[in-house]
Chains A and B, each alone.
Chain A
Amino acid sequence: MNGYNFAYLDEQTKRMIRRALLKAVAIPGYQVPFGGREMPMPYGWGTGGVQLTASILGADDILKVIDQGADDTTNAVSIRHFFQRVAGVETTTATTAADVIQTRHRIPETPLRAGQILVFQVPIPEPLRFIEPSEQETRLMHALEEYGVMHVKLYEDIARYGHIATTYAYPVKVDGRYVMDPSPIPKFDNPKLDGNPALMLFGAGREKRLYAIPPYTRVESLDFEDHPFEIQRWEHACALCGSDHSYLDEVITDDQGGRMFVCSDTDYCQSRRGEVA
């Protein structure tokens, strides 16, 4: 696209983000501040993820963008078109064909492979923020590894509901050190963070923080011995592909109370239907 540098960001900004990314990888789970730029889309639409993708993306890369698992929703379509225009890269909806996958709030069902990079869009990067509003305090808590308060929050769930009621953005501990917000992915996806062969990068545009989980890194979801971490389960299978082990969305089909459960990962669901047919 004329008038813009490759992948929209200027080289100076990319270098700044790249240097921050290397530090993020060197200190897994630690939130590195970076000079977030204003992007041609509002905060909340993935400006952090877009800046990270723009800094790592190459002309030969194949890009996939998903929003809650789907390739065809507004956020995914607009970001995919953005990179088609400003970087001229090839795009795909197939998880296996992609080199870089930018995601809003899901990890694809198809296992990722070594060499792939998953870029998460993050609204609030600080897992302790809703417990402690002060940035100075939370920074100190991370420095001192003072995470007891996070267990108190989970325990309050147990006291009130009898089980841990946190269902998304479920806090994890990375390599036994930093407590990290995995972005608002359903806790169903948390086990996929652990020992994943792909590199996972997280970008928060409004909060101007980025962090990373290198491949094959130990990632534990916080829990208690008597209340171990559990993922969501459904009594239904996907109404379209019949999968009984993927994350399902409940879709209202009429005003008579009709509903169906379908895979949230559209690529996974379509490829399964292709195999069956």
Chain B
Amino acid sequence: MAQREREQREMETRERVAGETLSAAWPGLTDPAHDSQRLFRQILGAMSEPGTLETLAVPAPPQTPPSDALGAALWGVVLTLCDLETRVWIAADLDSSALRQALTFHTGARITDDPASADFALLTHESFDPQMPFALGSDTYPDRGTTLLVVVEQLANVGPSMLSGPGIETTRALDIGDSPGCRALMDRLAANRASFPQGLDMIFGCGARLAAVPRSTRVTRADAKEVN
């Protein structure tokens, strides 16, 4: 009996130490109720005014290990929106046991290998594949689609990609980078209109900055034929 108690205590200590190490590299939100509220309002602002750039503005912004590609903004989005009711899919180039542990530890979200069952997908512009079968929702329940959280090369309100539609008074330029992956992402967003109300909503992250483009946005490229 005494031995069992000792083992139990040792296990608890091990778990706590593991949790503390994890929290040091991938800390959660300092003030969960208020920080997540502030972050959510930024995400809501980004989603309701597509293409506007938001920079993390909480007293203690979320941190990620400097070596990790995910970036503080998208980690903040994960901490704000994910919990044990959500499934998260992680692309191979972002996948690490540290991220998986941190995600499970801080949010309790379930990690899935099936993109079609994911509520949120974490990926980079390099790992984006237009053929990836993310959930688009159905015509009767278009809300049941995957939200893509994508690390992009850059975020700036310039460039050939023009956004218009709900949330945009006239038009807004958005440049996420010129890599093949970034171009594929914008092409995928442009294709959303054809399947509306089904479609993919994306939140882009670049360091501590984020922007969002929902499926309601019309995306056109000045240097290409109109894709609408």
Interface residues of A (CB under 8 A from B): 5-6, 11-12, 14-16, 18-28, 30, 32-33, 55-59, 115, 139-140, 142-144, 175, 177-178, 195, 197, 199, 212-218
Chain A residues, CB < 8 A from B145: 23
Contact with A along B62-94 (1 / 0, CB 8 A): 000000000000000000111101100000000
Chain B residues with CB under 8 A of A23: 143, 145, 201
A215 x B37 contact (CB < 8 A): no
Give the residue of A15, A33, A56 whose beta carbon is less than 8 angstroms from that of B81: A15
Evaluate whether A56 and B142 lie within 8 angstroms (CB atoms) in the complex, with A19-B119, A27-B197, A175-B216 already known. no
Report the Cα distance A146→B196, complex, angstroms: 15
Nearest CB to that of A23 among chain B residues?
A: B143
Give 23 A-B contacts (CB < 8 Å), ordered by A residue.
A6-B34, A12-B85, A19-B119, A22-B147, A23-B143, A26-B216, A27-B142, A27-B214, A27-B215, A27-B216, A56-B41, A57-B37, A58-B38, A59-B37, A143-B197, A177-B197, A199-B48, A214-B48, A215-B49, A215-B166, A216-B166, A216-B169, A217-B167
**Interface 0/1 of B14-49, CB less than 8 Å to A:** 000000000000000000111011101101110111
Which residues on the B side are within 8 Å of A217 (C-beta)? Answer: 166-167
With A56-B44, A213-B166 given, can you name 13 additional A-B contacts, CB distance below 8 Å? A12-B85, A18-B81, A25-B48, A26-B215, A26-B216, A27-B142, A30-B142, A55-B40, A143-B139, A143-B197, A199-B44, A214-B167, A217-B167
B97 at the A interface (CB under 8 A): no
Most chain B beta carbons < 10 A, residue from A18, A27, A33: A27
